[in-house]
Amino acid sequence: MPERKYGNEFGIQTRAVHAGNDVDQDTGAIKRPITMANSYELPYDPTDLNWSSAGKALYTRNGGANQQYLQEKLAVLEGGEDCVVLASGVAALSGTFFALLNSGDHVIFADVTYIAVYRLLNELLNTKYGVETTLVDTSDLEAVKAAIKPNTKLIHIETPGNPTLKVSDIKELANIAHEHGAYLSVDNTFASPYNQRPIELGADLVIESLTKYINGHGDAMGGAVIGSTKLIEQIKAQSMINLGGTISPFNAWLIMRGAVTLPLRMKQHNENALKVARYLESLPFVSFVAYPGLKSHKGHEIAKKQMINGFGGVLSFGLKADHDTYNKVTSYLKVITSAVSLGHDESLIVFLGEEDERQYLYPEAFHNGFYRLSVGIEDIEDIIGDLEQAFEKAGLNGSEIIKR
Ligand X SMILES: *Cc1c(COP(=O)(O)O)cnc(C)c1O
Binding site for ligand X (CB under 6 A): 88-90, 114, 158, 162, 187, 189-190, 209, 211-212, 221, 223, 342
C-beta closer to ligand X: residue 223 or 369: 223
- HSE-CB for 58 with a 13 A CA cutoff: 13
User: Sheet of 370-374: strands edge to edge?
Assistant: 286-290, 314-319, 370-374, 348-352, 337-338
Residues 229, 75 contacting (CB under 8 angstroms): no
Task: Quote the least distance from Cβ 283 to ligand X, whole Å.
Answer: 26
Closest CB to ligand X: residue number: 89
Q: Of the two residues 274 and 342, which places its CB atom closer to ligand X in the complex?
A: 342
Judged by beta carbon, residue 120 or residue 321, the one nearer ligand X is 120
Answer for the pair 140, 157: CB distance below 8 angstroms, yes or no.
no
The question of whether 304 is a catalytic residue gets the answer no
Instruction: Quote the least distance from Cβ 262 to ligand X, whole Å.
Output: 16
Nearer to ligand X, 106 or 212 (CB): 212
Least distance in angstroms from the C-beta of 255 to ligand X: 11
Instruction: Please state the closest distance from residue 224 (CB atom) to ligand X, in A.
Output: 10
Selected catalytic residue, list 82, 111, 187, 345: 187
Q: Among the options 212, 236, 265, 275, which is catalytic?
A: 212
Task: Please count the CA atoms within 13 angstroms of the CA of 184 that sit on its side-chain side.
Answer: 27
Q: Which of 114, 194, 213, 371 is catalytic?
A: 114
CB-nearer residue toward ligand X: 95 or 263: 95
DSSP string, 38-92: SB-PPPS-GGG--TT-SSS-SBHHHH-HHHHHHHHHHHHHHT-SEEEEESSHHHH
Nearest approach in angstroms of CB 9 to ligand X is 30
Give me the catalytic one of 61, 119, 171, 257.
Answer: 61
- Decide if 326 is catalytic: no
Nearer to ligand X, 93 or 380 (CB): 93
Q: How far is the CB of 331 from ligand X (least distance, A)?
A: 24
- As a whole number of angstroms, the distance between CA 97 and CA 225 comes to 11
Amino acid at residue number 214: I
32 is catalytic: no
DSSP bridge partners of 348: 337, 374
Residues 212 and 189 sit within 8 Å (Cβ to Cβ): yes
114 catalytic residue (yes or no): yes
Smallest separation, CB 159 to ligand X (Å):
10
> Residues with Cβ < 8 Å from 105, sequence gap 6 or more?
131, 132, 151, 152, 153, 154
Q: Which CB, 185 or 209, lies closer to ligand X?
A: 209
Spatial separation of the C-alpha atoms in residues 93 and 101, rounded to whole Å: 12
d(CA 173, CA 163): 21
Rounded to the nearest angstrom, the gap between the alpha carbon of residue 196 and the centroid of all alpha carbons in its chain is 11
Report the alpha-carbon distance of residue 70 to residue 398 in Å, rounded. 50
Catalytic residues: 61, 114, 187, 212
